[in-house]
Amino acid sequence: MTTVVKQLSVETLRSSLRGELILPGDEGYESARKVHNGMIDRHPRLIVRPVNVRDVISAVNFARENELTLAVRGGSHSVPGFGVCDDGLVIDLSHMKGVRVDPKNRTVRAEGGCTWGDVDHVTHAFGLAVPGGIISTTGIGGLTLGGGIGYLARKYGLSCDNLISADVVTADGRFLTASAEENADLFWALRGGSGNFGVVTSFEFRAHPVSTVFAGAILYPLEQSRDALRMYRDFMAQAPEDVNAFFAYLIVPPGPPFPEHLHNKTVCGVVTCYLGPMDKAEGAIRPLREFGPPLFELLGPMPFPMLQSMFDALLAPGLQQYWKADFLNDLNDGAIDANVKYGPGVPTFNTAVHIYPVSGAVHRVGKTETAFSYRDANFAEVMAAVYPDPADTPKNKAWVQDFFSALHPYSAGGAYVNFMDDEGEDRVAASYRDNYAMLAQMKRKYDPTNLFHMNQNIKPAR
C-alpha cells in the first residue's frame, strides 16, 4: 500500500468530483468517519461523498491507482464496520438518494445511498413497498446485497429477490448494468454476495401493493419462553404467507406505550405484521394472541412506514454493537434450550435477540438461483448486544459468544452474512455453501485484486 498519496493527485481527485472530498482536519471529518456502530473508531485518509456515477468512478479509480484500502458505505449499518477503514479511502454514498417510482409497472429505482426510510417514504405515496428490513435507517445497499430479511419476506421474498437490475461500478472503473439479461453472472453474484463485486450506484426493484398493515408487538412472561418458542415455531409452520412474525427476548423500554409495571422487565414476545385484508387480521394471528395470556399487546392497523420505523429509536446511531448469528433449519429442542438459557440475559432494552422466519416466498427461489444460499433454512437468529457504555463491552461480548456457542451446534451451519461479525473466510464460505466456489470465480472475474475487501469477503479464485 502506498503510504504517501501525493497532494497533487488528491487535488486532481477533488477537481474531478461534483461531490465532497473530506480529509483529516477538515470540518466535518470527525462526524464523516463515524458509522452506526459506536464501537468502530477508524481514521480514513480520504472520504468521498459522490453525488453521481462519475464521482464514484473517479473515487474507485483513485483508490485502485494509489493502492489504497477502499471502503464503500451505503447506510453505514454494518456492525463489523465495513463502511469505514483506517488509512484508506471511503466512498460514502449517503448523498446519492434519488428514488423514482414507476407506479404503472410497479418498479422502483433507488440510488445506492438510500436508506429503507428514503425508499418507503416515496413508495408509500403510491401504495407500494419494496421488501426491506425492519428498521428504516438501514441502507438499501448493504441490506439488499447481503439478502434482505424483513416483514415482507414470506410473502414477497428477500430484498435481493426483488432486484430487477443494478448499476455497478466495478474494480476497474467500468460501469456495468447487471440484470437477468445483461451481465447475468454479476447479477447472480450481487443477490446475496454482499459488497464484493463493485459499487452499486442504483438499484431497480419490484414493488408490491402494501400500504396499511395490521401489526405490532405481543409480550409474554419470560417464565413461559420455552412454551412460547414452541408455540411460535408451530404457528409459523402453518401460518399463511400474509403473516410475518419474529420472536424476541427483550427488556421492556421504560416509557410509553408500555405500562409502568412492565418497565425494565425482561420478557419474550413476537412482533407481527399481517398483509391481508384487515377484517381477516385478528383471525390470522389469533394463536399469537391467545398464548399466555399475553402481558401486553400493541396491535392495530398502521401505515407500513410507521411499522418500518417503530424501533428506530432503540437502535440509534453511536451505540456499541456486537452481533453474532446463525441460520436454523428448525427450532429444535437444542435450539430452544439455548434460547431459554441465554435469551433472558439481554443486557439492555436496546439489545435484540431476534428469530426471523425465512420461509414462504424465500423458499420458492432455488438454492443456487442467487448467491444467497440458505433457502432451506426456516429461521435466521441474531444475538445483537446493543448498549451505550464501552466499558460494558467485555461482559456483552461474553454473553453473545456464550449464547452463540450454545446455539451453533443446533444451527444449519452458516449464518446470514448481514447479521454476522467479521469472522473470517471459513465462516463466510459456510454461509454461502455450494455457491462459494462460483462466487470466488465471479470475484476473480470482476475484482481479481480484491479491491472490494471491506465486506464479508470472498477471496478471488486462484
Interface positions with ligand FAD (CB under 6 A): 36, 72-79, 82-83, 93, 112, 133-135, 138-139, 141-143, 145-146, 148-150, 194-195, 199-200, 315, 418, 454-455
- Would you say 159 and 140 are in contact if contact means Cβ atoms under 8 Å apart? yes
Nearer of residues 294 and 460 to ligand FAD, judged by Cβ:
460
Cβ 292 to ligand FAD shortest distance, Å = 25
**In angstroms, what is the minimal distance from the CB of 213 to ligand FAD?**
15
Least separation in angstroms between residue 339's CB and ligand FAD is 19
Peptide bond into 80 cis (omega under 30): no
Burial class (CB in 10 A: 0-12, 13-18, 19+), 28: exposed
Whether 340 contacts 227, CB under 8 Å:
no
Are the beta carbons of 384 and 353 closer than 8 angstroms? yes
- Helix axis angle for 393-407 and 333-342, nearest 10°, is 160
Least distance between ligand FAD and beta carbon 6 (Å): 26
Q: Which helix (H) or strand (E) holds 302?
A: strand 296-303
Contact (CB, 8 A) for 193 and 439 = yes
Nearer to ligand FAD, 195 or 360 (CB): 195
**Number of residues that make up the chain:** 462
Beta carbon of residue 166, minimum distance to ligand FAD (angstroms, whole number): 8
Output the smallest distance, CB 153 to ligand FAD, in A. Answer: 9
Query: Quick one: 222 or 428, whose CB is closer to ligand FAD?
Result: 428
Residue 139 or 294 with smaller CB distance to ligand FAD: 139
Nearer to ligand FAD, 135 or 245 (CB): 135
**Residue 228: other Cβ atoms inside 10 A:** 28
Whose Cβ is closer to ligand FAD: residue 78's or residue 320's?
Answer: 78
| Whole-angstrom distance, CA of residue 165 vs CA of residue 82 | 24
Cβ 106 to ligand FAD shortest distance, Å? 22
20: nearest Cα among 47, 45, 43, 42: 47
Please give the C-alpha separations between residue 57 and each of 13, 48, 50, 204, 257, in angstroms, as whole numbers.
11, 11, 9, 20, 48
Closer of 258 and 372 to ligand FAD (Cβ): 372
Phi, psi of 220 (to 5 degrees): -120, 160
* Shortest Cβ 455–ligand FAD spacing (Å): 3
Between residues 295 and 440, which has the closer beta carbon with respect to ligand FAD? 440
Q: CA gyration radius for the chain? A: 22
* Residue number with CB closer to ligand FAD (117 or 142): 142
* Residue placing its CB nearer to ligand FAD in the complex, 235 or 372: 372
Return the residue matching grid coordinates 470540518.
Answer: 27
CB of 23 to ligand FAD, least distance (A): 21
Phi, psi (deg, nearest 5) at residue 71 = -120, 140
- Smallest separation, CB 68 to ligand FAD (Å): 15
Are 257 and 371 in contact, with CB atoms under 8 Å apart? no
Contact predicate 336/229, CB 8 Å: yes
Q: In sequence order, what are the residues at sequence separation of 6 or more whose Cβ sits closer than 8 angstroms to the Cβ of residue 294?
A: 218, 219, 220, 269
